[in-house]
Amino acid sequence: MIDIHKQKNLNIDIGIRCTLQCSECQRTIHKKENWPIPGKDMTIEQFDKISNFFKGRRIYFCGSFSDPIFNPDLIEMLRMCKTKKIKAFVHTAASHKSENWYIKAFESNVDVSWVFGIDGLPHESHLYRVNQDGEKLFNIMLKANSILTPRCTEWQYIIFDYNINSIQSALELARKNNIYFFTIDTNRKENVRI
């Protein structure tokens, strides 16, 4: 018999900021409609309380209104996950932190899985991820792969009209660098600026 209680994981949006302007992001839609972005940054105290319930489980730092790298306490939260034996996943697509910041984040807990949203070859991913420096983020992904535990670096590639013919090249690039690569099909193709 499966203990459902043990299967529970948590997917949280820990902030309110992102530097990207992806056309189908909730944040972009709120801005177009002139609605305020809801919420605020999760604090260390709030995360400590929530994470106590998820010891031994998984926490996904993935934003609907933000990119988790912009929460000022993310690195401390990753350390807490290590202490509490929580498997953490950070989903990021923003590229607006320094290389030194990323290195500190990776070193804070080498068992965290980092999922990098680079939709296309690095030089073309900004077509959907407006304001992303895909080449910088790709190099950060390579740096993560040299620091993190093996198989903890992942390349998420959303398929659009502009990048559908680049999938094989991206897959080969990921294999060459020993990075886990996966695609996501979407109906967002018509919303990309080309």
pLDDT top residue among 24 and 80: 80
pTM for the whole structure: 0.90
pLDDT top residue among 4 and 140: 140
pLDDT top residue among 23 and 94: 94
Angle formed by the axes of helices 99-108 and 74-83, nearest 10°:
20
Q: What is the band of 87 on the pLDDT scale with cuts at 50, 70, 90?
A: very high
Domains of the chain: 4-189 (3.20.20.70)
* pLDDT at site 1: 46
* pLDDT at site 3: 53
Instruction: Name every residue whose Cβ is closer than 8 Å to that of residue 165 and which is 6 or more positions away in sequence.
Output: none
* pLDDT at site 175: 97
* pLDDT at site 58: 94
> Looking at the predicted structure, is the pLDDT value of residue 39 above 90?
no
Q: Identify the residue whose tokens are 């950060």.
A: 140
pLDDT tens-digit map of 147-183 = 999 999 999 999 999 999 999 999 999 999 999 999 9
Q: What is the band of 100 on the pLDDT scale with cuts at 50, 70, 90?
A: very high
Mean pLDDT for 99-113 is 98
* pLDDT at site 188: 57
* pLDDT at site 42: 96
Query: What does the alpha-carbon distance between residue 28 and residue 41 come to, in Å, rounded to a whole number?
Result: 18
